[in-house]
């Protein structure tokens, strides 16, 4: 690997256990020996054919009626071999809903469709795998949830949908539709798309760390948070760079001995930030996360998030706000400063 800027070899061929084949796709950010790299193209035609031939991106949309089942749906997505490359909980305006459902304009149920999709938050995701468009449609099942329960009983719409409109989730039918819809939710121009759902009241911050995201634990963590009685009122995937992480973790600098390793972990891949709401949210959620060291957590608080999903003091599954006065500040950092 050659460093073009400094005209020197950065890395010779070597084994690196933290990088996996599914991480190698155009546009992804990977961390190699503490250096963040953006993958912009294949090295040669052979590599392009081997890795890029059938790789597709498509839109996966969790509708308002299934937001409470987001953990289960994300778990299904991960188990089916998809990589979630973008994720954001959003609230659609009427205009955004009209743009999204433009293909259904002449249908008799069009107004009901628009009304439903704007009744509450949705979660939009960009997901990646071989034959993604076709495979995601297969996982969804028939558009009518009643038909899905008969013809595809294990499908997402059979499990979580109610009827033909309140059918839990959506996926585009074609490559052209996928491109158009992803542009609405995740504009390539760098704009932020539909507004996030952060409320900035009675809140604390939770971040699912990169190692937990890459290990496919996001769905399970969301289910655990919901089952413990917390409300996830905003959620978004971020690829943080070192400067952002150092700014966010500044309070720990010189205080926590693991500070530098904490920083490196947080920008090693995508993380998922959340606004968590409950009374006395910072205190109760910090208790639910458990001690920072998962080994200690497993002995003292075995039901906590870090006890169940953490591996080491650095890779301990989640960050949570420590001080009550920092809850709102940390939520604002992600959902006001980074999301603009």
pLDDT at 205 over 80: yes
Residues 6+ apart with CB under 8 A from 312: 293, 294
Angle between the 70-79 and 218-227 helix axes, to the nearest 10 degrees? Answer: 160
H or E stretch covering 175: helix 175-185
Please, what sign has the CA dihedral across residues 236, 177, 169, 223? negative
Largest pairwise CA distance in the chain:
64
In a 3-state reduction of DSSP, which class is residue 123? strand
Per-residue pLDDT, 298: 97
pTM: 0.86
Residues 6+ apart with CB under 8 A from 53: none
Per-residue pLDDT, 136: 98
Per-residue pLDDT, 245: 97
Q: What is the mean pLDDT of residues 6-15?
A: 76
pLDDT at 37 over 90: no
Per-residue pLDDT, 281: 95
- Enumerate domains of the chain plus CATH numbers: 55-185 (3.30.70.141), 203-337 (3.30.70.141)
pLDDT at 52 over 60: no
pLDDT tens digit string along 229-246? Answer: 999 999 999 999 999 999
Q: What whole-number distance in Å separates Cα of residue 146 and Cα of residue 277?
A: 34
Confidence band for 12, pLDDT divided at 50, 70 and 90: confident
Confidence band for 59, pLDDT divided at 50, 70 and 90: very high
pLDDT tens digit string along 77-118? Answer: 999 999 999 999 999 999 999 999 888 777 778 889 999 999
Per-residue pLDDT, 27: 58
Residues 6+ apart with CB under 8 A from 284: 230, 278
pLDDT at 156 over 90: yes
Burial of 273 (0-12, 13-18, 19+ CB in 10 A): buried
Residues 6+ apart with CB under 8 A from 42: 26, 48, 51, 52
Q: What whole-number distance in Å separates Cα of residue 338 and Cα of residue 90?
A: 15
C-beta atoms surrounding 164 within 10 Å: 17
Share of the chain above pLDDT 70, in %: 91
Q: What is the mean pLDDT of residues 301-307?
A: 97
The residues pairing with 207 across neighbouring beta strands, listed in sequence order, are: 273, 319
Per-residue pLDDT, 218: 98
pLDDT at 176 over 80: yes
Burial track 300-322 (b if 16+ CB lie within 10 A, e otherwise): ebeebbbbbbbeebbbbbbbbbe
> 67: which DSSP letter?
G
Burial of 16 (0-12, 13-18, 19+ CB in 10 A): exposed
Per-residue pLDDT, 241: 93
Q: What is the mean pLDDT of residues 13-27?
A: 70
Q: What whole-number distance in Å separates Cα of residue 255 and Cα of residue 274?
A: 25
More reliable by pLDDT, 54 or 233: 233
Burial of 162 (0-12, 13-18, 19+ CB in 10 A): middle
Q: What is the mean pLDDT of residues 167-176?
A: 95
pLDDT tens digit string along 111-152? Answer: 899 999 999 999 999 999 999 999 999 999 999 999 999 999
Do the bridges between strand 231-238 and strand 122-130 make them parallel or antiparallel, or are there none, so unpaired?
A: unpaired
Q: Is 170 a catalytic residue?
A: yes
Confidence band for 28, pLDDT divided at 50, 70 and 90: low
Per-residue pLDDT, 106: 74
Among the listed residues 170, 260, 299, 319, the single catalytic one is: 170
């Amino acid at each position: 690997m050659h460093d073009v800027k400094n005209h020197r070899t950065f890395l010779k061929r070597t084994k690196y256990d933290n990088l996996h084949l599914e991480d190698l796709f155009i546009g992804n950010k990977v961390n190699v020996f503490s250096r963040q790299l953006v993958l912009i193209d294949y090295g040669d035609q052979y590599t392009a054919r081997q890795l890029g031939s059938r790789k597709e991106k498509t839109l996966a949309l969790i509708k308002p009626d299934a937001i409470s089942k987001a953990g289960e749906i994300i778990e299904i997505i991960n188990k089916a071999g998809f990589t979630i490359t973008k994720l954001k909980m959003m609230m659609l305006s009427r205009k955004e809903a009209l743009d999204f459902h433009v293909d259904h304009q002449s249908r008799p149920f069009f107004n009901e469709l628009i009304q439903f999709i704007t009744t509450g938050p949705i979660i939009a995701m960009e997901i990646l795998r071989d034959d993604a468009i076709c495979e995601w449609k297969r996982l969804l099942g028939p558009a009518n949830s009643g038909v899905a329960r008969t013809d595809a009983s294990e499908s997402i719409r059979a499990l979580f949908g109610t009827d033909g409109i309140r059918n839990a989730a959506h996926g585009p039918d074609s490559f052209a539709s996928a491109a158009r819809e992803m542009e609405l939710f995740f504009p390539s121009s760098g704009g932020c798309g539909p507004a996030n759902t952060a409320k900035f009241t009675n809140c604390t911050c939770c971040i699912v760390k990169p190692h937990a995201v890459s290990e496919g634990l996001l769905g399970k963590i969301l289910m655990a948070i919901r089952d413990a009685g917390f409300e996830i009122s905003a959620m978004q995937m971020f690829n943080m760079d070192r400067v952002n992480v150092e700014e966010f973790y500044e309070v720990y600098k010189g205080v926590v001995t693991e500070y530098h390793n904490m920083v490196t972990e947080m920008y090693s891949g995508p993380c998922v930030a959340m606004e968590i709401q409950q009374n006395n949210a910072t205190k109760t959620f910090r208790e639910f996360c458990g001690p920072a060291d998962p080994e200690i957590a497993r002995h003292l608080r075995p039901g906590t998030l870090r006890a169940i999903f953490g591996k080491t003091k650095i890779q301990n599954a989640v960050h949570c706000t420590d001080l009550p006065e920092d809850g709102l500040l940390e939520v604002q950092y992600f959902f006001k400063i980074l999301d603009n």
